[in-house]
Structure 1
């Protein structure tokens, strides 16, 4: 809980200029989600360019493009960090049981993975955008979906 308190203190310090524009929860989501998204894009870049070196992954019967492999590699890190930030920093007032939140978060992330996959396929393979630029465009679309899903489903507050 020490890390949570430090994050909340830092966000509380940074929030005042934004207080007239958005509620604190939205600011927390944008800050935490933005940090996790920046981490995701950074890890994607590293995995695509330096770990996979633009080379496809071979799985016997099928190949996975490096742009898709890097997507899954970066999400292996940002899934748990995203859940923990959402549960303990952004939507901490949710009264839904933790395991239900985790299951719902998993379902939401699975949908986001599919959206990421579809958008990356479209941007890279059909529109011929550079993979990192495609990842940024994809991220913007998926973040909007993710925020609405988390607020209204995953971490909603049940009425007593």
Structure 2
């Protein structure tokens, strides 16, 4: 499966060869796929699952955009790790459990950034939640790429 995914991604690489290295291209494709999945899940859960309504758990009340953020996170965390480990950062010689721990730290930071940025864009700027999510994605993607390259899947020299 991994080889087929790599062959598919690498088939399109010649178009981007002059713009970015192969690893960055793979990151862009895998990360972009995971971001689109995240955005799709966020949109569907915000508009249809939670129906733009507050989620009252009895002991905790969650705003609908935060509930949608959490639902999307639960799905995209494992897909993002698996794509990063087996498709993008394949030359990392760190043990899988170390990578998973570091990835978890990075994703928790991303989740916190998502939460703070969503709160800022929705509640302080008055943007619609889906538009806020798109702005947030652009900010978090840069941080995520740098974290994964230099920390989570770092190559020992």
2:37 corresponds, among 33, 36, 39, to 39
2:14 corresponding residue in structure 1: 16
What are the residue-to-residue correspondences of 1:8-157 with 2, within 5 Å?
A: 8-157=6-155
Any idea what SS the aligned residue of 2:19 has?
coil
**For residues 154 and 133 of structure 2, what CA distance do their matches in structure 1 show?**
28
Cα displacement (A) at 1:129: 0.4
2:5 corresponding residue in structure 1: 7
Any idea what SS the aligned residue of 2:123 has?
helix
Q: Say how many residue pairs are matched.
A: 157
Cα displacement (A) at 1:61: 4.0
**For residues 4 and 37 of structure 1, what CA distance do their matches in structure 2 show?**
20
Any idea what SS the aligned residue of 1:151 has?
helix
Q: Normalising to structure 2: TM-score of the pair?
A: 0.98
**For residues 134 and 90 of structure 2, what CA distance do their matches in structure 1 show?**
28
Any idea what SS the aligned residue of 1:22 has?
coil
Structure 2: tracts of 5 or more residues without a match: none
